[in-house]
Structure 1
Amino acid sequence: MDRPAWAPDEVDMNRPSVARVYDYYLGGSHNFEADRRFAEQILGVLPEMASVAQANRAFLRRVVRHLCAQGITQFLDLGSGIPTAGNVHEIAAAEIPDARVLYVDNDPIAVVHSRALLDEVDRTEVLAADLTEPSRVLDNPLTRTHLDFSRPIAVLMVSVLHFVPDEARPADLVRTYLEAMAPGSHLVISHATAEGGHLGADEAQSIYNRDRSPNAMRMRSTEEVAELFGDLQLLEPGVVRIPLWRPESPVGPEVQRYPGLAGVARR
Structure 2
Amino acid sequence: MGDEDRWFAGIDTSTPNLARMHDYFLGGKDNFAVDREAAEAVLAIAPEVRVMAQEHQAFHVRVIRFLLEQGITQFINVGSGLPTVLNTHELARSLVPDTRVAYVDTDPVVLTHGRAILARAPGVSVVEGDVMRPAELLADPDLRQVIDLDQPVALLLFVVLQYIPDSSDPWARVAELRDALPAGSHIVITHVVFDSRPEVAEPIVALYRTVLGHDQGRARTREQVLPFFDGLHLVEPGLVYVREWRPDSPFLFERPEKAWMIVGVGRSGEPPAEGRSAGE
The TM tier, using the shorter chain, reads over 0.9
Aligned to 2:272: none
Aligned-pair CA distance for 1:211: 5.8
**Residue segments in structure 2 that go unaligned for 5+ positions in a row:** 269-280
Mapped to 1, the partners of 2:168 and 2:217 lie a distance apart of 13
Aligned to 2:22: 22
What is the aligned-residue RMSD (CA, Å)?
1.8
Which piece of structure 1 moves more, 93-102 or 135-144?
Answer: 135-144
Aligned to 2:252: 251
Query: Does the CA-based 8 Å contact 1:111-1:126 persist in structure 2?
Result: yes
Which piece of structure 1 moves more, 205-214 or 57-66?
Answer: 205-214
What's the secondary structure of 1:81's corresponding residue?
A: coil
Which piece of structure 1 moves more, 218-227 or 247-256?
Answer: 247-256
Aligned to 2:219: 219
TM-score (norm 2): 0.89
Aligned to 2:263: 262
- 1:48-197 correspondence to structure 2 within 5 Å: 48-197=48-197
Deviations 1:11-60 (A, max 9, x none): 22221111111111111122122211110100111112111101111111
Aligned-pair CA distance for 1:247: 0.7
Aligned to 2:4: 2
Aligned-pair CA distance for 1:210: 2.9
**Residue segments in structure 1 that go unaligned for 5+ positions in a row:** none
Q: Which runs of 4+ in 1 moved over 6 A?
A: none
Deviations 1:132-173 (A, max 9, x none): 222221111112222101100000001111011111111111
Mapped to 1, the partners of 2:242 and 2:213 lie a distance apart of 25
Mapped to 1, the partners of 2:253 and 2:235 lie a distance apart of 22
Aligned-pair CA distance for 1:201: 4.7
Which piece of structure 1 moves more, 132-141 or 53-62?
Answer: 132-141
Deviations 1:230-250 (A, max 9, x none): 110000111100111111122
What's the secondary structure of 1:95's corresponding residue?
A: coil
Aligned-pair CA distance for 1:219: 2.7
**Given the superposition, is the C-alpha separation of residues 20 and 219 from structure 1 closer, same or farther in structure 2, using an over 3 Å criterion?**
same
Q: Aligned pairs, how many?
A: 265
Mapped to 2, the partners of 1:209 and 1:28 lie a distance apart of 23
